Amino acid sequence: MTQSPLTRNIQGNGPTDILAYEASGGYLAARDNIGKADPADLLQLIKDSNLLGRGGAGFPTGMKWSFVPPADGNGHRYLVANADEMEPGTFKDRLIMENDPHQLIEGMLLSAYTLAADVGYIFIRAEYHLAIARIRSAISEAEQKCYLGDRILGSKYSFHLQVHISAGRYICGEETALLNSLEGKRATPRAKPPFPQVSGLWGRPTIVNNVETLCNIPHIVNHGANWFKSLGKGDNAGTKLFGASGRVKNPGCWELPMGTSIREILEVHAGGMQDGYMLKGFLPGGASTDFLTPDHLDLPMEYEAIQKAGSRMGTGLMVVLDDRACPVGMIANLEKFFARESCGFCTPCREGLPWVQGILDKIEAGHGQAADLEVLERQALFIGAIGNTHCAHAPGAMEPLVSGLKYFRSEFEQHIHDGRCPYAGES
C-alpha cells in the first residue's frame, strides 16, 4: 500500500482524467460505500483515524463533523471545500487540484455522504486558473459516470457539486467569511456561535474543510483508520504536504509522514540553504505563525510539538528567513499584508494593524524611537487577545510580530540606534 496516498498520482506527472484516476484505484471507495455503507460507521471511521484538519488549525475532522445535527429533511445541507489557498508561503492545495482533481471530488463525495449533505461547493481563488479548469472538467467527467448528481451509482443518494470562483481577499479563507462570500455578501467573518455545522450557508448545516483534509478521506475509507495512523511518525496520523520557500536550494512541496523533523524537511528535501546564506529563522506554516529558530530544527512537524515550542504548525509550508534578509523588513512585509487584508469589521484589527504597520515601516526606514518597541508590545497584547475580534486574523497577525520581537530584538534595537537598516544593500 502506498505511503504517499495524496500524491501517488502526482509524482509521475501523469494524466488527470477520470480513466487515469480510476485505473489507480480512484472511486473504489465511492463504489464500495455510496448507498451501501452506514454514514454513522463512516463518521466513526474518520474519528478513529485521528485525522486533523489540514487548513492550519489542526482541529479533529471527525469531531468537527460530529457537531452537524441529524438530517431534518427541511432543506439543503452543505459541504464546502475551502480551496481559497492564500496563506502567504503556502502552495499545497494547488498541487493537488491541478494534478489530481478527482481525488478532491471523491473526497467530497464520501464526506458529503457521511454528513448527508446534498449540495457541495468548491470555493476557489480566481487566480488558480489551471486548477479551476481541471476541476470543472473533472466534475463534468464525474457527472457523466454517475459519481455526482442525482441517484449516485444507482443509489438513493444525490449530491450536486459546484465551483465558486472567488472575487479575491485573503479573509475569504476564514470559514465563516467564506460562507458570507458564497452568499454573495462582503466576506466579514461571523460571530460564533452559532457554528456553521448548525447554522452555516443560508442558515443551514454546513461543513467547511480544507482541500488536503478532504483528499485524505478516500484513502482512510479504503485502507482503514489503523493504516492511516501508521503513516505518521510517533502518535501522529497520516501524511502531510510539507514545503519550504525562501533561500533554500530546492524550494518545493513534499508529502511526508506527519511528525517528520523540521531538519529533515529543510536539509534533506529542501536541500539546505543556498550557498552564501545561513538559516536565521522560519515561519513553520504561513504568515500567521510564530517564528522559530535554528534551535528548533529537531522538532517534529506536528501540531502539538510546534505549539509547545510557542508557534503553530499552520499549513506546514515553511517560509525561511536567511541571514542576509532583514527580519524587521520581513515583519513589516507581513504586517502590511495583514493590515491590507483585514475585513475592517472589528476595531482592534481595522485600526490596530495599520498602526503596527506604520511603526514597523518607520523603524525599517531608520526613523524609529526606543519607545516604539513598547508601543508594538502593547499593541500586540490588545490586537492579539482572543475574544477582542470575531476571527483569528488579528491574533494571527501578532504571532510573527511577538515572536520576532523576542528572537530578533537586537536587530530592532540596532535599526533604532543606528537610524538605518543594517541590511540595506543586501539581497
Partner 1 sequence: MKSELINALSRAEIDAIEAEITHLPDRKSAAIDALKIVQSQRGWISDDSLSAIAKLLNMSAAELDGIATFYNLIFRHPVGEQVILFCDSVSCWLMNGEKVCSKLQRTLGIQHGETTADGQYTLLPVTCLGDCDHAPAMMVGESLHHDLTVDNIEAIFK
Q: By the criterion CB under 8 A, which residues form the site for partner 1? A: 85-91, 93-94, 125-129, 162, 165-170, 181, 183-187, 202, 243-247, 251-253, 283, 287, 317, 319-322, 325, 329-330, 333-334, 336-337, 340-341, 343, 427
Closer Cβ to partner 1, 146 or 165, answer by number: 165
Place of cell 532583514: 326
What is the closest distance, in whole angstroms, from the C-beta atom of residue 133 to partner 1 in the complex?
10
Closer Cβ to partner 1, 20 or 325, answer by number: 325
What is the closest distance, in whole angstroms, from the C-beta atom of residue 249 to partner 1 in the complex?
11
Place of cell 448507498: 35
Cβ–Cβ under 8 Å, residues 237 and 231: yes
3-state SS, residue 366: coil
What is the closest distance, in whole angstroms, from the C-beta atom of residue 288 to partner 1 in the complex?
11
Closer Cβ to partner 1, 181 or 197, answer by number: 181
DSSP class of 427 = -
283 half-sphere exposure, CB direction, 13 A CA radius: 30
Long-range Cβ contacts of 56-60 (<8 Å, 24+ apart): 56/87, 56/210, 56/285, 56/286, 56/288, 56/312, 56/314, 56/315, 58/303, 58/312, 58/313
Closer Cβ to partner 1, 64 or 94, answer by number: 94
Question: What one-letter code names the amino acid at 46?
Answer: I
CA distance linking residue 372 with residue 354, whole number of Å = 14
What is the closest distance, in whole angstroms, from the C-beta atom of residue 245 to partner 1 in the complex?
4
- Residue 203 class from Cβ within 10 Å (0-12 exposed, 13-18 middle, 19+ buried)? exposed
What is the closest distance, in whole angstroms, from the C-beta atom of residue 228 to partner 1 in the complex?
26
Closer Cβ to partner 1, 232 or 400, answer by number: 400
What is the closest distance, in whole angstroms, from the C-beta atom of residue 136 to partner 1 in the complex?
14
Closer Cβ to partner 1, 44 or 199, answer by number: 199
